[in-house]
């Protein structure tokens, strides 16, 4: 009989198909086994001796070693307190100050005062040479000549009218010209008098102090060109000064005229003055997002120097039922604040509260806590960690 055999390529294909089938079967078995596999959860951490941990509380036995790190205290009624210091600056009382400039453009020839010098009303401050003054003097001189001419002409016309040599209307015309010349002369004199300066020569005048005070600002040097549109000196009384603080808008809530304020100066150790807020600006600085807050202080002894730094604090009156606890009693998870309250002996329960900023190591709680309740003042973070580890 004749034998028939498969070609070599056919035998290879059959082996490939068998291998693929076996691989698929093994993969299916592996997938089923993985689906049924489950990892056992880690065992909970064993509780420490004398301590039981709940979802929101921790119970400590009387002799538990954790008491060495956990300390209790009472929530006390909150008292008015002073805020943290805000940087301020001593400034002149602008209601008792005057800016001085040159009434005419020109060149400074002499300066008679220095910064910080006390001056009296009418005291010479500086001199200026100005061609504009010569123009005003010339205009006044011309006006005086015009008045003399107009008066002489009017008298001549008046006499002729009286003798019947001229009509009456000529006298009326001469009277009008005389009055017009007199008005121009008064105007020329008023311009010179309005300068409020002492004229020395045709083109030089002296500027004098408009009030008593201290030179608190000086932008003036000999030979300097000055205009008539700005000030070069400022004179102010300094026996009363302003203290102005820039308070961030987020911290200005509750501040108003009459709010008690305390002023200290780094340059005067031991100096402290209590007063009240005079004004709180109604406009926020668009760059610093702050509000100028101003108080007024008497300065008869001259200790407070304009432009020196100061510090301002404000007294905060809290709600009637607000309480105060040490700042260490407050715990926060970033989203809310809470404290641990002793609900029963050894049982410390976490309670949400609303608290203000820390002031001198204490914090005021306005909601969530009552005066007389016992709270954890130290160790609250340790209790928090125990709850997190156990759940």
Distance CA 201, CA 204 (A): 5
Q: Based on the structure, what is the number of domains in the chain?
A: 3
pLDDT of residue 30: 62
Phi/psi of residue 20, each to 5°?
-65, -40
**What is residue 344's predicted lDDT score, i.e. its pLDDT?**
93
Pair (331, 366) in one structural domain: yes
Domain membership of residue 36 (yes or no) is no
Whether residue 293 lies inside any domain: the answer is yes
CATH of the domain at 139: 1.10.287.470
Residues 194 and 162 in one domain: yes
Does 295 lie in the same domain as 264? Answer: yes
366 and 308, same structural domain?
A: no
- The string of DSSP letters for 29-50 reads HHHHHHHH--PPPPPPPPPPTT
CB proximity list for 12: less than 8 A, separation 6 or greater: none
| Separation of CA 246 from chain center | 2
In this predicted structure, what is the pLDDT of residue 1? 46
Q: Is the pTM of this model over 0.75?
A: no
Out of 316, 349, 375, pick the residue that ends a domain. 316
In order along its 391 residues, the chain shows pLDDT tens digits of 444 444 554 454 566 665 656 566 656 656 555 555 555 555 555 566 778 989 899 999 988 888 999 999 999 998 888 888 999 999 999 999 999 988 888 899 999 999 999 999 999 999 988 887 767 777 777 878 878 888 888 888 888 888 777 787 888 888 888 888 888 878 767 766 666 666 666 688 888 999 999 999 999 999 999 888 888 999 999 999 999 999 988 778 778 999 999 999 999 998 999 999 999 999 998 888 899 999 999 998 889 999 999 999 998 877 888 999 999 999 988 788 999 999 999 999 999 999 877 777 888 898 999 999 999 999 999 998 888 888 7
> Which residue segment(s) compose the domain that 268 sits in?
86-95+238-316
Helix (H) or strand (E) holding 138: helix 131-162
Which has the closest alpha carbon to 194: 228, 152, 226? Answer: 228
> Residue 383: CA atoms inside 13 Å, Cβ hemisphere, count?
36
Residue with tokens 């010209």: 177
pLDDT for the residue 81 = 80
Angle 131-162/168-194 helices, nearest 10 degrees?
160
Please indicate, yes or no, whether residues 299 and 340 belong to a single structural domain of this protein.
no
């Amino acid at each position: 009989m004749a034998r028939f055999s498969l070609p070599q390529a056919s035998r290879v294909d059959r082996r490939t198909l068998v291998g693929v089938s076996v691989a698929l079967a093994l993969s299916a078995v592996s997938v089923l086994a993985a689906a049924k596999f489950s990892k056992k959860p880690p065992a909970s951490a064993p509780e420490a001796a004398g301590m039981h941990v709940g979802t929101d509380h921790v119970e400590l036995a009387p002799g538990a070693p954790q008491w060495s790190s956990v300390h209790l205290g009472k929530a006390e009624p909150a008292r008015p307190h002073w805020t943290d210091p805000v940087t301020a600056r001593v400034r002149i009382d602008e209601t008792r100050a005057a800016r001085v400039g040159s009434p005419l453009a020109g060149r400074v020839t002499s300066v008679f005062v220095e910064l910080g010098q006390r001056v009296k009303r009418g005291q010479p401050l500086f001199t200026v040479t100005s061609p504009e003054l010569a123009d005003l003097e010339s205009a006044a001189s011309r006006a005086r000549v015009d008045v003399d001419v107009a008066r002489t002409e009017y008298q001549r016309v008046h006499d002729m009218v009286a003798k019947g040599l001229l009509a009456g209307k000529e006298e009326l015309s001469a009277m009008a010209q005389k009055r017009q010349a007199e008005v121009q002369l008064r105007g020329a004199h008023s311009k010179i008098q309005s300068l409020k300066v002492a004229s020395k020569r045709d083109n030089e005048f002296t500027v004098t102090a408009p009030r008593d005070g201290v030179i608190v600002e000086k932008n003036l040097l000999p030979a300097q060109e000055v205009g008539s549109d700005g000030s070069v000196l400022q004179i102010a009384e300094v026996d009363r000064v302003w203290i102005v603080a820039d308070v961030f808008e987020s911290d200005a809530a509750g501040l108003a005229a009459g709010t008690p304020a305390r002023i200290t100066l780094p340059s005067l150790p031991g100096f402290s003055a209590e007063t009240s807020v005079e004004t709180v600006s109604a406009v926020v600085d668009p760059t610093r997002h702050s509000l100028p807050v101003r108080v007024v202080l008497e300065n008869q002894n001259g200790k407070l120097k304009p432009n020196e730094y100061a510090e301002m604090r404000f007294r905060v009156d809290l709600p009637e039922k607000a309480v105060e606890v040490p700042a260490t009693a407050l715990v926060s998870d970033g989203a809310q604040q809470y404290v641990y309250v002793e609900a029963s002996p050894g049982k410390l329960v976490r309670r949400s509260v609303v608290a203000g900023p820390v002031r001198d190591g204490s914090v005021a709680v306005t909601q969530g806590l009552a005066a007389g309740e016992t709270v954890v003042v130290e160790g609250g973070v340790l209790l928090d960690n125990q709850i997190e580890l156990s759940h």
